[in-house]
């Protein structure tokens, strides 16, 4: 092979690999990207059942139900709209009612969101950014009010 | 001491300046560094030697070895030629440059470091390792509660199986409002030293306190164990009664409170508390051990209020020292509100917000409490 | 006093880094030996100052000096000593100080070993290193000062985040930083050489050991981080394609490519421009990784920093250094004398293919990691109320990264067997026939045995076997000689350069990891709620819940599920996963229980604990340890190469071989 041919071979191979990679990226972008929505956006955008997405918001107070075999149901809310969620598996340590949560899964035909992963905020002070934004949009960037009742003075002497 | 800091800082500065000045002051500083030609030639010579060795041992076949050899040799010549061309292109040592560089080190380093440090640092502030502070606290003249606590905690971290230590610190935690820690300390004392009615009832009480006054199943178990050993244990009996009250069994609670009151000395805090409980259940005050009920009817209320106020002031003082306790602030605000002192509640709310400036979540909780109690807050 | 001395030492280190950045570079430009001679002592002095500063902070942690804000926020007097020491870097400020300490350490090492380097190159390299250090020291001093004091000092600290209090995570950041920051040397070498305008095979030989060192640490650091996530987060996964993980993977990919391209440059004086670019990119990606993790732009466990000033500052550092280096590159690269063009079928041709695939794979990871951020920023600018938020997860990376990794793996044994200059593809294929055949047979046999099971797993195992045997073949071929006895060949094998062994070992390590990854497809997962006495099947094992009990640790309380693992009625031991609450914290953390059985592990984590029952997540993970073992083997291979005589700069060193010549 001449010098020129060799150079062309290398350039050709490089272009081929980069072309394949670009193709893969574009292909994957179409099929594997997951959008993030808050409950209001799901209602507003009319998301098709079967679409894979992430939803985020607060776990609505009083909606957590545990079923047999570690199935749980709860509702995710941004205070304007709620989305019922179904999940089977261990909930994260920080999962609590009234706290921020992000779930990834599929919206089913009956409007229930079937989650295959549930993430809660990572420490006491931290709220997932996506959740915070979704809540800000609804103008409820605050914690749920404290529920502790007055403590009987006698018990504390 | 303060002088000593400045000596150390001066020494450090000196060392830094010296490190730069030293090489500048040498006469022939570059003698140790080889010229570029030398390095390159040496490199290609090693490469040639490697090829030689590999070929000798049959690791590469002779034809390959030959081409590699030729190539390395060609590059060796090229490197030598290139270096010759650039070697003497200008430069060399210059006294003027050296002086500028030396001045930069001598003046620049201190002139940059000292002002910057004085802006950022606090040279008069001594280090305060905990051990030194605790040692200082050994001097009985200036012992303070927190230091004593720190000392015992440090000791317990070393020897977690010292039951006495847990027993000593548990009431201190209780007074400081650290109910969870108190409960843990009592449970450790019980685990290590064994069950006694006193430990069990105090353990139970700590659990109740940490649970906002609710007698949980764990706490009840503790009281039951205490009563099993000594049926006369007063606190255990009181909290059993409180548990009945919380379960909605008012009759049992009233009976138990009355039974306790019959043994309590008149005018005591216990009697006052018992009467307050009875009053809240709609039952008449009980007869105490040695005096008619009417005589103390007025006293308990005042005494009770005084006790409560004392407790609230303690809490307030503690929060003034360490303001990071959100729960504490909430309790304080609520207490003032309950005592009918909205001004103080408002003031506590404001102080709490200021103390929690770094804690968004805590401030949020205080704010919502303020709204709930209708005493403002932003 | 010690604290303040440490603080002042940090300020002095900043002043020295500026001197280091300016004086030697000026000297190199003016060819003034006196000025260039400043480089080494200044680098040493900077190292000493940063080390003093770091030591002072460590001292404050060990002595629980709660007059230091950083100690208050991240330590507790009851922490075990080891975690007080690791607590220094388990927070934003301390970890940045560690970052700079390692940067200064590398500068000091280059200075110490630089006696044989050309003076101008050494001066420029250390000057660039000084400039990088200056930027980060200024960042620490102005936005993340670990020596800020509090008065009056509280008597107790806020404790160390319990999720970070773990031996795995304690050593993860130092390893990772040794890798990240190690690439700064390659960067400084590249920028130094570009400034000087002189780059050749000698440059490659000088830079290679540093790249290799950084690469070894980064490999170990990534493996460590992956293992930590595996057992600490309680999800049973070992790689999540989390942006923080990607941030460490990208420099690794670029660094691996760099490692291979410097070989070509050293041996064939080719790929100069490309190697310069890779050197700049490897460290740039490390900087981007630091930015992603430190600025808090990501939603992740790792974002300690929430102060936007820090993010902007790091971004500025990023722009200045990456932008500056690339501009310099664009300006000077055409000046570089291009080396020879070579045959596609040859060792260097294979290495170019390797570089091509690694760089492309790195680019896909880059796109996947930054695309969501970019999209959000762009759409947020377009319509501030409604930015598009997307998440790019494992499916994306599996679809893009794996198809590029696969041909790369296939090519490895060919690459290391091909001769330089012009290779004989057919001959190599014949030599590798055994490895290929065994790999294919293994894949087919496993496929036949597990009909209906996952398809890619047997292929992966076959690939791993092929990689390991391919490396063995390479050693065997080089030791083989017609008519020689076994003893002779063994001696010849032992006499091979350590770099040859290192190469083979590292590539075999890739194979080991590939087998481990492939085998995850055979894992078994089970989510159950058990009451004490109840059992559940998990693959070949039976797991029985014996009891749910509370337990007290030195600084935590936990509720533990005692699980007995049995196989065919034979007890194999007890697992104790639990929920833990640290003293001074209300947040519970899950502690996974692990039992190693052969190369596989039984993994258990606890979910909801109800009175008298525990929700459990159980996994059987066959051969899972191979994933990390393979990484360790890779790093060992790198270490072995480092020990090679040839890696120790081939300047006037005596070439008289100490290696015993084989008897012929």
C643: left (phi over 0), alpha (psi -120 to 50) or beta: alpha
* pLDDT at B60 exceeding the cut of 90: no
Give me the pLDDT at residue C621, please. Answer: 92
Interface partners of chain A (CB pairs < 8 Å, 3 or more) are B, C
pLDDT tens by residue, A50-100: 888 888 888 888 888 887 777 889 998 887 888 899 998 777 776 777 777
The most confident of the ranges A110-124, C482-496, C620-634 is: C620-634
Pick among C14, C24, C37, C56 to test the B interface (most B CBs inside 10 A): C37
Give me the pLDDT at residue C650, please. Answer: 40
Residue A135 pLDDT class (50, 70, 90 cuts)? low
DSSP B177-203: T-HHHHHHHHHHHHHHH---HHHHHHH
- Residue C549, strand partner residues: C560
- CA of C168 vs chain B CAs: smallest distance (Å): 23
Inter-residue contact C409 to C514 (CB < 8 Å): yes
Task: Give the number of C-alpha atoms closer than 13 A to the C-alpha of residue C647, restricted to the C-beta side.
Answer: 22
Interface partners of chain B (CB pairs < 8 Å, 3 or more) are A, C
Mean pLDDT, to the nearest integer, of C594-622? 86
Give me the pLDDT at residue A72, please. Answer: 87
Residue C370 pLDDT class (50, 70, 90 cuts)? confident
CB contact, 8 Å: C580 with chain B? Answer: no
Give me the pLDDT at residue C386, please. Answer: 66
Give me the pLDDT at residue A137, please. Answer: 53
pLDDT tens by residue, C619-638: 999 999 999 999 999 999 99
What is the spatial distance between Cα C283 and Cα C289, in angstroms, rounded to a whole number? Answer: 9
pLDDT tens by residue, C75-134: 877 778 888 898 898 888 999 999 999 999 999 999 998 877 888 899 999 999 999 999
Range name among B360-374, C263-277, C644-658 with the lowest pLDDT average: C644-658
Give me the pLDDT at residue B297, please. Answer: 38
* pLDDT at C562 exceeding the cut of 80: yes
The domain defined by B304-373 folds into 1.25.40
Per-domain boundaries in chain B: 153-247, 304-373
Mean pLDDT, to the nearest integer, of C233-260? 88
Instruction: Tell me if C390 and A33 make a contact (CB, 8 A cut-off).
Output: yes
* pLDDT at C228 exceeding the cut of 50: yes
* pLDDT at C660 exceeding the cut of 60: no
Contacts of residues B230-235 at CB distance under 8 Å and 24 or more positions apart, as own/partner, are: B230/B197, B233/B197, B233/B198, B233/B200, B233/B201, B234/B201, B234/B260, B234/B263, B234/B270, B235/B201, B235/B202, B235/B204, B235/B205
Give me the pLDDT at residue A122, please. Answer: 46
Q: How many helices (H) and strands (E) does chain C have?
A: 21, 11
Q: Virtual CA dihedral for C40, C44, C47, C51, nearest 10 degrees?
A: 170
- CA of C597 vs chain B CAs: smallest distance (Å): 34
CB-count exposure of residue C395 (10 Å: 0-12, 13-18, 19+): middle
Mean pLDDT, to the nearest integer, of C138-149? 92
pLDDT tens by residue, B77-122: 776 666 555 554 445 667 888 888 898 889 999 999 999 999 998 8
Which tokens is B30 given?
């570059």
Residue B335 pLDDT class (50, 70, 90 cuts)? confident
pLDDT tens by residue, B278-289: 877 777 776 654
Inter-residue contact C43 to B40 (CB < 8 Å): no
pLDDT tens by residue, A18-61: 898 888 888 888 777 788 888 888 888 777 788 888 888 888 88
Instruction: Tell me if B277 and A143 make a contact (CB, 8 A cut-off).
Output: no
What is the spatial distance between Cα B207 and Cα B190, in angstroms, rounded to a whole number? Answer: 14
Instruction: Tell me if A10 and C585 make a contact (CB, 8 A cut-off).
Output: no
CATH among 1.10.10.10, 3.90.950.20, 1.25.40.10, 3.30.360.10 for B153-247: 1.25.40.10
* pLDDT at C433 exceeding the cut of 70: yes
CB contact, 8 Å: C559 with chain B? Answer: no
Pick among A124, A143, A155 to test the B interface (most B CBs inside 10 A): A155
Inter-residue contact C547 to C562 (CB < 8 Å): yes
- Return mean pLDDT, chain C: 86
For chain C, percent of residues with pLDDT exceeding 70: 90
- CA of A148 vs chain C CAs: smallest distance (Å): 16
pLDDT tens by residue, C30-54: 888 889 999 999 999 999 999 999 9
Give me the pLDDT at residue A126, please. Answer: 41
* pLDDT at C416 exceeding the cut of 60: yes
Mean pLDDT, to the nearest integer, of C591-599? 88
Give me the pLDDT at residue C377, please. Answer: 75
| CB atoms near residue A153 (< 10 Å) | 16
Give me the pLDDT at residue B242, please. Answer: 84
CB-count exposure of residue C175 (10 Å: 0-12, 13-18, 19+): buried
ω before C152 within 30° of 0 (cis)? Answer: yes
pTM value surpassing 0.80 = no
* pLDDT at B293 exceeding the cut of 60: no
Higher pLDDT, B29 or B345: B345
Which tokens is C426 given?
């057919």
* pLDDT at A105 exceeding the cut of 80: yes
C236 Cβ contact list (under 8 Å, min separation 6): C230, C525, C592, C603, C605, C617, C619, C621
DSSP chain A: --HHHHHHHHHHHHHHHHHHHHHHHHHHHHHHEEEEE-HHHHHHHTPPTT-EEEEEEEEPTT--EE-GGGEEEEEEE-SS-EEEEEEESPPPTT--TTSEEEEEEEE-TTS-EEEEEEEE-SSTT---HHHHHHHHHTT--SPPPP-PPPPPHHHH-
Tell me the three state secondary structure of residue C160: coil
What are the C-alpha distances in Å from C631 to residues C223, C340, C505? 6, 35, 11
Per-domain boundaries in chain C: 1-162, 166-416, 432-521+631-645, 524-621
* pLDDT at A154 exceeding the cut of 50: no
When CB atoms are compared, the residue of C66, C153, C554 closest to B160 is C554
Residue B146 pLDDT class (50, 70, 90 cuts)? low
Instruction: Tell me if C15 and B38 make a contact (CB, 8 A cut-off).
Output: no
Pick among C8, C25, C307 to test the B interface (most B CBs inside 10 A): C8
CB contact, 8 Å: A155 with chain B? Answer: yes
Higher pLDDT, A30 or C562: C562
* pLDDT at B377 exceeding the cut of 50: no
């Amino acid at each position: 092979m001449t010098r020129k041919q060799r150079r062309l071979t290398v350039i050709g191979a490089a272009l081929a690999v980069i072309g394949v990679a670009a193709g893969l990226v574009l292909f994957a972008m179409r099929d594997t990207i997951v959008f993030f929505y808050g409950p209001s956006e799901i209602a507003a955008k009319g998301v098709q059942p079967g679409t894979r997405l992430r939803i985020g918001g607060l776990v609505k107070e009083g909606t957590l139900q545990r079923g047999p075999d570690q199935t749980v149901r709860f509702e995710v809310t941004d205070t304007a709209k709620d989305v019922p969620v179904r999940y089977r598996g261990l909930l994260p340590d920080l999962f609590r009612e009234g706290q921020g949560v992000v779930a990834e899964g599929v919206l089913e035909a009956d409007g229930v969101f079937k989650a295959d992963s549930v993430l809660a905020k990572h420490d006491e002070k931290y709220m997932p950014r996506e959740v915070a934004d979704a809540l800000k949009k609804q103008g409820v960037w605050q914690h749920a009010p404290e529920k502790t009742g007055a403590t009987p003075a006698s018990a504390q002497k | 001491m303060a002088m000593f800091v400045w000596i150390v800082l001066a020494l450090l500065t000196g060392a830094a300046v010296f490190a730069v000045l030293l090489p500048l002051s040498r006469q022939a500083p570059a003698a140790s560094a080889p010229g570029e030609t030398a390095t390159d030639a040496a490199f290609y010579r090693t490469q040639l030697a490697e090829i030689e060795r590999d070929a000798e041992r049959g690791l590469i076949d002779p034809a390959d070895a030959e081409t590699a050899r030729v190539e390395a040799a060609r590059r060796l010549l090229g490197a030598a030629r290139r270096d010759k061309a650039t070697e003497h292109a200008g430069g060399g040592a210059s006294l003027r440059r050296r002086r500028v560089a030396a001045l930069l080190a001598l003046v620049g380093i201190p002139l940059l470091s000292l002002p910057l440090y004085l802006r950022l640092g606090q040279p008069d502030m001594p280090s305060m390792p905990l051990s030194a502070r605790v040692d200082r606290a050994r001097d009985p003249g200036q012992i303070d509660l927190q230091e004593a606590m720190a000392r015992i905690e440090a000791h317990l971290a070393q020897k977690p199986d010292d039951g006495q230590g847990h027993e000593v610190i548990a009431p201190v935690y209780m007074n400081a409002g650290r109910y969870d820690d108190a409960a843990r300390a009592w449970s450790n004392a019980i685990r290590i030293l064994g069950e006694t009615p006193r430990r069990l009832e105090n353990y139970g009480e700590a659990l109740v306190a940490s649970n906002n006054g609710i007698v949980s199943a764990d706490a009840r178990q503790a009281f039951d164990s205490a009563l099993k050993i000594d049926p006369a244990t007063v606190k255990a009996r009181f909290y059993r009664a409180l548990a009945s009250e919380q379960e909605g069994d008012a009759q049992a609670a009233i009976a138990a409170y009355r039974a306790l009151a019959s043994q309590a000395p008149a005018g005591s805090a216990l009697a006052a508390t018992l009467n307050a409980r009875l009053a809240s259940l709609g039952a008449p005050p009980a007869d105490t051990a040695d005096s008619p009920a009417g005589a103390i009817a007025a006293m308990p209320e005042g005494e009770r209020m005084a006790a409560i106020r004392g407790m609230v002031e303690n809490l307030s003082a503690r929060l003034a020292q360490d303001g990071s306790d959100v729960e504490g602030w909430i309790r304080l605000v609520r207490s003032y509100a309950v005592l009918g002192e909205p001004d103080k509640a408002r003031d506590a709310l404001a102080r709490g917000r200021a103390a929690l400036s770094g804690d968004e979540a805590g401030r949020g909780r205080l704010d919502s409490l303020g709204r709930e109690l209708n005493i403002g807050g932003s | 006093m010690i604290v303040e001395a440490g603080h002042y030492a940090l300020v002095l280190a900043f002043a020295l880094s500026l001197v280091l950045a300016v004086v030697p570079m000026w000297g190199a430009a003016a060819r003034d030996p006196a000025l260039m001679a400043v480089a080494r002592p200044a680098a040493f002095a900077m190292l000493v100052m940063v080390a003093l500063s770091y030591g002072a902070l460590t001292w404050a942690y060990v002595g629980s000096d709660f007059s230091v804000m950083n100690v208050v926020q991240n330590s507790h007097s009851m922490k075990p000593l080891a975690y007080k020491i690791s607590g220094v870097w388990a927070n934003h400020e301390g970890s940045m100080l560690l970052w700079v300490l390692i940067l200064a350490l590398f500068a000091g090492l280059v200075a110490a070993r630089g006696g044989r380097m050309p003076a101008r190159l050494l001066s420029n390299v250390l000057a660039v290193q000084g400039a990088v250090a200056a930027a980060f020291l200024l960042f620490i001093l102005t936005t993340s000062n670990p020596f800020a004091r509090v008065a009056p000092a509280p008597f107790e600290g806020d404790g160390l985040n319990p999720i970070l209090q773990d031996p795995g995570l304690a050593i993860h950041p130092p390893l990772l930083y040794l890798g990240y920051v190690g690439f700064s040397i390659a960067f400084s070498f590249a920028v130094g050489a570009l400034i000087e305008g002189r780059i050749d095979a000698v440059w490659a030989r000088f830079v290679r050991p540093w790249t290799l060192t950084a690469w070894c640490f980064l490999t170990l650091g990534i493996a460590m981080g992956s293992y930590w996530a595996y057992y600490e987060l309680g999800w049973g996964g070992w790689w999540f394609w989390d942006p923080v993980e990607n941030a460490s993977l990208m420099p690794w990919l670029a660094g691996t490519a760099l490692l291979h391209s410097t070989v070509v440059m050293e041996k064939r004086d080719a790929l100069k421009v490309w190697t310069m670019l890779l050197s700049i990119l490897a460290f740039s990606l490390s900087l981007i990784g630091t930015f992603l993790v430190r600025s808090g732009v990501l939603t992740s466990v790792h974002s300690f920093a929430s102060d936007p000033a820090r993010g902007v500052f790091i971004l500025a550092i990023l722009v200045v250094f990456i932008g500056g280096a690339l501009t310099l590159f664009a300006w000077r690269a055409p000046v570089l004398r291009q080396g020879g063009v070579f045959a596609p079928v040859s060792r260097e041709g294979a290495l170019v293919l390797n570089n091509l695939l690694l760089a492309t794979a790195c680019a896909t990871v880059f796109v996947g990691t930054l695309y969501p951020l970019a999209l959000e920023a762009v759409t947020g600018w377009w319509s501030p109320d409604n930015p598009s938020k997307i998440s790019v997860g494992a499916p994306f990376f599996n679809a893009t990264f794996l198809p590029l990794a696969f041909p790369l793996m296939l090519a490895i044994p060919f690459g290391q067997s091909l001769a330089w200059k012009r290779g004989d593809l057919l001959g190599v294929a014949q030599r590798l026939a055994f490895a290929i055949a065994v790999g294919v047979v293994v894949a087919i046999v496993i496929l036949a045995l597990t009909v209906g099971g996952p398809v890619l797993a047997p292929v992966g195992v076959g690939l791993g076997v092929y990689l390991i045997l391919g490396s063995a073949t390479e050693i065997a071929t080089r030791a083989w000689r017609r008519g020689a006895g076994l003893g002779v060949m063994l001696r010849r094998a032992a006499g091979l350069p350590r770099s040859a062994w290192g190469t083979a070992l590292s590539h075999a390590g890739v194979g080991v990891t590939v087998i481990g990854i492939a085998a995850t497809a055979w894992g078994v997962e089970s989510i159950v709620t058990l009451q004490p006495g109840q059992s559940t099947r998990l693959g070949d094992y039976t797991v029985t819940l014996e009891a749910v009990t509370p337990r007290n640790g030195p600084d935590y309380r936990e509720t533990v599920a005692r699980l007995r693992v049995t196989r065919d009625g034979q007890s194999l031991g007890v697992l104790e996963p639990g929920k833990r609450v640290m003293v001074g914290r209300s947040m519970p953390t899950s502690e996974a229980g692990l039992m190693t059985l052969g190369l596989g592990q039984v993994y258990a984590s606890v979910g909801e604990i109800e009175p008298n029952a525990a929700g459990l997540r159980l996994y059987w993970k066959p051969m899972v340890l191979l994933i990390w073992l393979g990484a360790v083997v890779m790093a060992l291979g790198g270490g072995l190469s480092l020990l090679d005589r040839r890696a120790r700069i081939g300047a006037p060193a005596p070439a008289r071989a100490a290696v015993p010549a084989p008897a012929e």
